[in-house]
């Protein structure tokens, strides 16, 4: 989960509180309707009771561009990490880290990590927080 630097949040609970205080005013970008990022974002909204406005893009790269430019406030995509590093710009990453925590070959999915971060419990394979 990446947020634009202009948002005054540093943690997932802070983001949830901010989103609830500003319903419908936070734009959530994804790589398109039905993309994994879109599904994760919709699941996040469902689990937190927040009202984020989905903005579908034709791929993750345009969403990342607008995230870094401040046109959208949040995106669920791994490309944002790559873009902020290469461009020297900063978007804040909240609610997870860059490595898989499971020792198995596939590791934990993004959806498993988002769910566990919201509910405080693992979902799916053992060891996936």
CA 56 to chain centre: 14
Q: Tens digit of pLDDT per residue, the chain (129 long)?
A: 888 888 898 888 899 999 999 999 999 999 999 998 899 999 999 999 999 999 999 988 898 889 888 999 999 876 645 544 444 444 545 555 444 443 333 455 555 555 555 554 444 444 444
**Per-residue confidence (pLDDT) for residue 72, from 0 to 100:** 95
Give the pairing type, strands 26-30 and 74-75: parallel
For residue 23, the tally of other CB atoms under 10 A from its CB is 12
46-78 burial string, b = 16+ CB within 10 Å, else e? eebebebeebbbeebebbbbbbbeeebbbbbbe
């Amino acid at each position: 989960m990446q947020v634009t630097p202009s948002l005054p949040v540093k943690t997932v609970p802070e983001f949830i509180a901010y989103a609830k205080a500003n319903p419908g005013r936070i734009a959530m970008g994804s790589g398109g309707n039905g993309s994994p990022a879109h599904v994760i974002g919709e699941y996040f909204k469902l689990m937190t009771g927040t009202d984020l406005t989905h903005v579908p893009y034709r791929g993750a790269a345009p969403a990342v561009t607008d995230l870094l430019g401040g046109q959208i406030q949040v995106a669920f995509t791994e490309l944002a990490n790559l873009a902020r590093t290469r461009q020297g710009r900063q978007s804040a990453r909240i609610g997870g880290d860059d490595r898989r925590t499971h020792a198995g070959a596939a590791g934990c999915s993004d959806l498993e990590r988002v769910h566990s971060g919201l509910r405080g419990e693992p979902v799916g394979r053992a060891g996936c927080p």
